[in-house]
Amino acid sequence: MLQTLLNRRRLARLAKTNLVAETVSVLNSALDYKQKVLELIGSAQQRIVITALYLQADEAGEEVLRALFEAKQRNPQLDVTVYVDYHRARRGLIGQEGARTNNDFYRDIAKEYPLPIQIIGVPVKKRELFGVLHLKGFVFDQTLLYSGASLNNVYLAQQGRYRADRYLLLSNKALTDAVVHTHQQLFGDAEQTPLLLSDESLLKDAAKKQSRNWLKHAKTMHYGLADNADAPLRAALLMGLGRRDNELNTSILAMLALAQRDVFIYTPYFNPPLALSRALRKCLKRGVQVTIVVGDKTANDFYIPPGQRFSRIGALPYLYETILRKFLRANQKFIDAGLLTVKLWKHQDNSYHLKGLSVDGDKHLFTGHNLNPRAFALDFENGIYVEDELQQLKPVLEQEKAVITAHAKAIHHYRDIETLSDYPEAVQKLLARIGRIGGTLVVKRLI
């Protein structure tokens, strides 16, 4: 009873603003996402502020970047700022070391336009392995487009393939102002978060100069949202970095602790930290129905189809699957009782990147948080928490769910999941080697 009261207070204390249901919508495809991004860039009058893991040097990335520059040329008073992860911008794709980087791409495009835009690199940690900028959110005047998706060919369905995600669209001045002003506060120091169009000599050592004081400051930051909500539909902006006093993590666990009827979870990479596994098991033990929609290993970003050249990163989808199988085996009795449903998403050769959860139909989290140890401890994450007492958003969220689950198949028994002996020989050898040297736990904390 005391824990329930504390969790209710935790969510009640979050600063919230009122929403109007008619100003909230959900896009249902990657192609819709691309079209909406370009449409909103073209119509923005005062400000465009994009925060994403990356804006990629490919065809879709170039289309978006040129649209941003052209919007600035048409309207010199338009504020255009892009925040991306510094490390991701400064390296090539995995397996393509030495190739042209996103930063090179930004510079090349910028040379063609007289009026510049701001592209800022954020080195959350000194090394990418130990944490990246995973904050999300695109602001166009008073419109907020929130998605876990970044900007590249596959996220924008550029060449026939897509990476499925969630796309929440809100028109709300309080939310957009809070995102813009808080990100400016966090990333406004050129010493800590450099302009990526600057001279190379000013950029190459930026991560090494990162201040511990800045990191401490980032860990204590909250979105500056005035708490004035008095409507049955309201929203809070959440932010979290690090294991301790992480507002986003504690809110996720509080939502699960308060669940009475049902929990619905989207996650692309099944690797729940201990705290989350315990919270889910407690839900199941008290009779809460839990549904988890996760990507099949073939729908993982890192999956390498048979016949293609294998690299070590291609073992990750199989490692995630071994974790899923172990979870299902430990909770088979709840599957048999109809309390736990796990669905694997697979659609042709497309990939799956959805995140978030809903509890009892009236509490929802839209986030880029992967619900894994890395998100809980290393990466800089954010999300939008929505309380919907009258379930006014139910029609759009049920439509979203129907679109996603149309390509998802329920797993009825843990034995339906492949084992190590079913995997390609190269994967078997690599996973066995990791296990022999005791590295499995370390790897799980970093993925």
Of 165, 177, 379, 387, catalytic = 165
Q: Is 387 a catalytic residue?
A: no
Of 321, 381, 387, 400, catalytic = 381
Q: How far is CA 158 from CA 62, 92, 298, in A?
A: 11, 20, 20
User: What's the one-letter identity of residue 404?
Assistant: I
Distance CA 194, CA 279 (A): 40
For 19-28, b where at least 16 C-beta lie within 10 A, e where not — what string?
bebeebebbb
Whether 38 contacts 65, CB under 8 Å:
no
In whole angstroms, what separates CA 319 from the centre of its chain?
A: 20
Distance CA 100, CA 97 (A): 9
Which residues on adjacent β-strands are paired with residue 351? 163
In whole angstroms, what separates CA 245 from the centre of its chain?
A: 20
Packing angle, helices 59-74 and 102-110, rounded to 10 = 40
Q: Which of 248, 250, 228, 232 lies closest to 240 in space, CA to CA?
A: 248
CA angle 440/129/238 to nearest 5° reads: 100
Of 353, 364, 369, 407, catalytic = 353
Joined tokens for residue 59: 């065809």
Torsion angle (degrees, nearest 10) of CA 196, 34, 178, 212: -40
Q: Is 165 a catalytic residue?
A: yes
Q: Is 79 a catalytic residue?
A: no
Q: Which residues are catalytic?
A: 134, 165, 353, 381
